[in-house]
Amino acid sequence: MSKFIMIIFGASGDLTKRKLMPALYTLYKGGRLPEGFSILGIGRTSYTDNYYREYILNELHRFVPAAEQVEQQMTDFCNHLFYQTLNPAEAGEYGLLNERLEAISGEEQPDNLLFYLATPPSLYGVIPLHLKAAGLNRPHTRIIVEKPFGYDLNSARELNEVYASVFQEHQIYRIDHFLGKETAQNILAFRFANGIFEPLWNRNYIDYVEITAVENLGIEGRGGFYEDTGALRDMVQNHLVQLVALTAMEPPAVFNADNFRNEVVKVYESLAPLTEEDLEEHIVRGQYTASGSKAGYREEKGVASDSRTETYIAMKIGINNWRWSGVPFYIRTGKQMPTKVSEIVVHFRETPHRMFRCEGGNCPRANKLILRLQPNEGIVLKFGMKAPGSGFDVKQVMMDFSYDKLGGLPVGDAYARLIEDCIAGDATLFTRSDAVEASWRFFDPVLRYWKEHADAPLYGYPAGTWGPLESEAMMHEHGAEWTNPCKNLTNTDEYCEL
C-alpha cells in the first residue's frame, strides 16, 4: 500500500479550521494516523506550504481545547501539511493536483488517497467528475462528502448517479457528524446490550418519542448558505432522521456496516407518507425575530428582508410497522433557542391504575427516559418513588448517568472518529445511497408543499425562546408536551417542566 495522503478541498474554509484540523490533530496526538501520512489542502486562496502550516497552527491554538494542546506535537503535526492553490471548479487545473500528489508521495499514481469535500454543496457534483477526468478515482481512493447531499429527491438522485459513475459505493463516505458522537452510538448499546429495556421498546409500552436538536446561536454570518438551505435541509433530512432511525430500528443480525445500514433504510422506508392533513397541521415552521440585543433572522447579513426560510421546524411523524404503529415521533430543530441541546426523550405509557395519592407539585408522571447527546452527555430515567414518612405519597425522582463520571474518559471528537473509520475502510456510521434517497422521498413532499403554497404559515418566534407556540398545540392533540431543558444547562437533572 502506498503512502496515505488526505486531500481537503476547501482547506482555507471554516469547516477545515474549526473541525477537520483539530480532529486530525487529535488522531495524530493519539498515534492513530497512518505512519508517514500527509495532508494536502486545496483552495483558491494562494498560500505557500509554510504559510499554510503557520495558519493552521494558529487556528489549532484557537479550536483545540487548551488541555489537549501540546506545542511540539502541534508543530510536528503541521509539518505534515501541504497546500496547493487550485480552483476545484476548473477541470484543467487538476493536472497540478496529480503532479503535487506524486511529488509528496514519491510515487507515480499513488492510490492510497482520501478526498474530503469541505466545500460549498455546489461543488459536490463537480469535483468527482474532475477527479475521474484526471485519473484520480483509483481502486484504493475514498471520498468523504459533507451534507446536505442534494437539495431535494431529484438532486440527490443526480448526485448519487454522479458518484456511482466515478466511484464504487464502498469508496463513498457521506458523513453525518451526529453519528460520530459517542452518545449517538451508545443508543444502540443501551438498547441492544441490555435485556431490561428492549422488551419495552415498542407501541405496547411507549406513548410517544420526542427528538430535539437545537442551538442557542443564530446563523453566524452564513446568511448566503442558510437562505438556500433552511432548517429542514440543514438538520432534519439528515441529523434528526438518523436519530429517529437509531431509536426505532430493529436489531441487526450482525453488527457490521451492511446489516446496520440495512436496518436504517428499513426505518426510512417505514415512515408513514405525509398526508395533506400532516402537511397542514403536523408541521410547524418558524423564523426567529429580534429580541433584546439579538437580531432577527431577516436582519442577518445575506438574508432577504422578506425571507421565507425556516430557522425552526417541528414535525409529527409516524412509522408504519408492528413495533411502532400508532406511536408518534415528534422532532424539532431550531436556531436561537434558549440553550444548545440534542436529546431523545422516550415517554412510556401511564400506569393503568393510580393507586397512590400525590400532593404538592412533584407528582409522578409517566416514566420518561432521556438520552442526552449534548451537552453533558448521559442518560436520565424518571420514575415514581414513595416519599419518606407515613402514608404513601409518591414523588417523581431521577436516576442519571453522565459520561464525565465514567472514569474521566473523554467523550471523543465526532469528526476524529468518523475520519478514523474512513481511513480504516469502516462505513458503518456513514450514509448509504439508498438511505439518502429514502430519506428524501419522505421529506420531498414538504418542500413541494411550501413551494406550491406561498401562504403556508411561517411563524415568528422571539430569539431566545422555545419556538412558535403552535408547535406546542401540535403535540397537545396527543396529550403530549415538549421536554424543555433549562437555560444554562449544567447537569443532566436540570429540566424545566412545562
Is 17 annotated to bind a ligand? Reply is yes
DSSP 305-339: TT----SEEEEEE-B-STTTTT--EEEEEESS-SS
Is 19 annotated to bind a ligand? Reply is no
Is 413 annotated to bind a ligand? Reply is no
Is 215 annotated to bind a ligand? Reply is yes
Is 405 annotated to bind a ligand? Reply is no
Is 234 annotated to bind a ligand? Reply is yes
Say which residues have a Cβ less than 8 Å from residue 249's Cβ, sequence separation at least 6. Answer: 263, 264, 266, 267
Is 147 annotated to bind a ligand? Reply is yes
Is 349 annotated to bind a ligand? Reply is no
Is 15 annotated to bind a ligand? Reply is yes
* Residue 402 grid cell: 453522565
Q: Which of 114, 104, 132 is nearest to 20 (CA)?
A: 114
Catalytic annotation, pick one of 239, 282, 476, 478: 239
- Whether 80 is a known active-site residue: answer no
Is 44 annotated to bind a ligand? Reply is yes
Is 281 annotated to bind a ligand? Reply is no
Task: Show contacts of 201-205: CB within 8 Å, 24+ apart.
Answer: 201/323, 202/323, 202/324, 203/323, 203/324, 203/325, 203/326, 203/327, 204/349, 205/348, 205/349
Say which residues have a Cβ less than 8 Å from residue 271's Cβ, sequence separation at least 6. Answer: 317, 318, 319, 320, 442
d(CA 333, CA 342): 9
Is 49 annotated to bind a ligand? Reply is no
Determine how β-strand 283-289 pairs with β-strand 495-496: unpaired
Determine how β-strand 113-117 pairs with β-strand 142-145: parallel
Is 13 annotated to bind a ligand? Reply is yes
> Active-site residues: which are they?
239
Residues placed in the known binding site for NADP(+): 10-17, 44, 147
Residues placed in the known binding site for substrate: 177, 181, 215, 234, 335, 340
Residues placed in the known binding site: 10-17, 44, 147, 177, 181, 215, 234, 335, 340
